Structure 1
Amino acid sequence: MSRLKGRVTLATVAGSAGVSVATVSKVLNGRSDVSPVTRARVQEILEKHGYVGRRPEPTRRDTIELFYQGVVNAYSVEVIQGVVEAGQAAGVDVVLNSRPKHPPTSNANPGRAASWIRQLIANGRRAAIGLTSELSEADLAALERARVPLVVIDPANTPEPELTSVGSTNFAGGVTAAQHLLALGHRRIGYVGGPPTSGCNQARMSGFRSVMDSIGAPVPPEYIWLSDFLYDDGVAGGSALLDLRDRPTAIFAGSDEVALGVLEAARARGLRVPEDLSVVGFDDTEVARLASPPLTTVRQPLREMGAVAVRTALQLAVGEPVASHHVELATTLIVRGSAAQHGLSIAAS
Structure 2
Amino acid sequence: MKRLTLEEIGRIAGVSRSTVSRVINDHPNIRPAVRQRVEDVIRQTGYQPNSAARSLASRQSRVFGLVMPSILQSAFADPYYPLVIQAISHACNQHDYTPALFLFQTPEEEEKMSQRIVASGLIDGLIITADTINSTFVSKIQQYDIPFVQIGRPPTSNAASISYVDVDNEAGAYLAASHLVQLGYRRIGQLATAHNTAGADRDAGYRHALGDRGLEVDEALVKVSDFSEAGGYQAMQALLDQQPEAIFAQSDAIALGAVRAIRDRGLRVPDDIAVVGFDDMPLAANADPPLTTVRQPINRTGMLAVETLIDIVRTTPEPARHIVLPVELVIRASSGAVY
Once residues 197 and 119 of structure 2 are traced to their aligned partners in structure 1, the CA distance between those partners, rounded to angstroms, is 29
Give deviations 1:293-323, integer Å, cap 9, x for gaps. Answer: 1111001111111111111111111234567
Change (3 A) 1:288 1:26: closer
Q: Give the match for residue 173 of structure 1.
A: 172
How far residue 100 of structure 1 moved from its aligned partner, in angstroms, is 2.2
- What is the DSSP-based 3-state SS (H/G/I as helix, E as strand, rest coil) of the residue aligned with 1:265? helix
Match of 2:101 among 96, 99, 110: 96
Q: Give the match for residue 122 of structure 2.
A: 124
Once residues 10 and 329 of structure 2 are traced to their aligned partners in structure 1, the CA distance between those partners, rounded to angstroms, is 64
Once residues 162 and 7 of structure 2 are traced to their aligned partners in structure 1, the CA distance between those partners, rounded to angstroms, is 49
Amino acid at match of 1:66: L
**What are the within-5 Å matches in structure 2 for residues 1-349 of structure 1?**
30=8, 58-59=51-52, 60=55, 62-69=62-69, 70=72, 71-72=75-76, 73-102=78-107, 113=111, 116-122=114-120, 124-154=122-152, 160-161=158-159, 162-195=161-194, 197-244=195-242, 247-320=243-316, 325-340=321-336
Once residues 32 and 125 of structure 1 are traced to their aligned partners in structure 2, the CA distance between those partners, rounded to angstroms, is 30
Change (3 A) 1:117 1:183: same
Change (3 A) 1:64 1:26: closer
Once residues 26 and 290 of structure 1 are traced to their aligned partners in structure 2, the CA distance between those partners, rounded to angstroms, is 51
Once residues 32 and 187 of structure 1 are traced to their aligned partners in structure 2, the CA distance between those partners, rounded to angstroms, is 73
List gaps (5 residues or longer) in structure 2.
12-47, 56-60
Q: Give the match for residue 46 of structure 1.
A: none
Change (3 A) 1:251 1:315: same
Once residues 287 and 166 of structure 2 are traced to their aligned partners in structure 1, the CA distance between those partners, rounded to angstroms, is 25
Give deviations 1:139-179, integer Å, cap 9, x for gaps. Answer: 22221222111211125855612222221111111110011
Give deviations 1:178-233, integer Å, cap 9, x for gaps. Answer: 111111111110000212x4211111111111121122211111111123111111
Once residues 102 and 252 of structure 1 are traced to their aligned partners in structure 2, the CA distance between those partners, rounded to angstroms, is 31
How far residue 26 of structure 1 moved from its aligned partner, in angstroms, is 10
Once residues 160 and 91 of structure 1 are traced to their aligned partners in structure 2, the CA distance between those partners, rounded to angstroms, is 31
Contact in 2 for aligned 1:114/1:142 (Cα 8 Å) = no
Amino acid at match of 1:68: M
Rg (Cα) greater in structure: 1
**Structure 1: which 4+ aligned runs deviate by more than 4 Å?**
24-33, 55-61, 155-159, 320-324
Contact in 2 for aligned 1:134/1:157 (Cα 8 Å) = no
Once residues 31 and 250 of structure 1 are traced to their aligned partners in structure 2, the CA distance between those partners, rounded to angstroms, is 66
Amino acid at match of 1:334: V
**Number of residue-to-residue matches in the alignment:** 288
Q: Give the match for residue 27 of structure 2.
A: none
TM-score scaled by length of structure 1? 0.75
Contact in 2 for aligned 1:184/1:341 (Cα 8 Å) = yes
> Identity across aligned pairs (percent)?
31
Amino acid at match of 2:131: S
Once residues 3 and 68 of structure 2 are traced to their aligned partners in structure 1, the CA distance between those partners, rounded to angstroms, is 48
More helix by percentage: 2
Amino acid at match of 2:284: A
Amino acid at match of 1:186: Y
Once residues 126 and 88 of structure 1 are traced to their aligned partners in structure 2, the CA distance between those partners, rounded to angstroms, is 15
Once residues 232 and 28 of structure 1 are traced to their aligned partners in structure 2, the CA distance between those partners, rounded to angstroms, is 56
**Greater alpha carbon shift after TM alignment, 79-88 vs 117-126:** 117-126
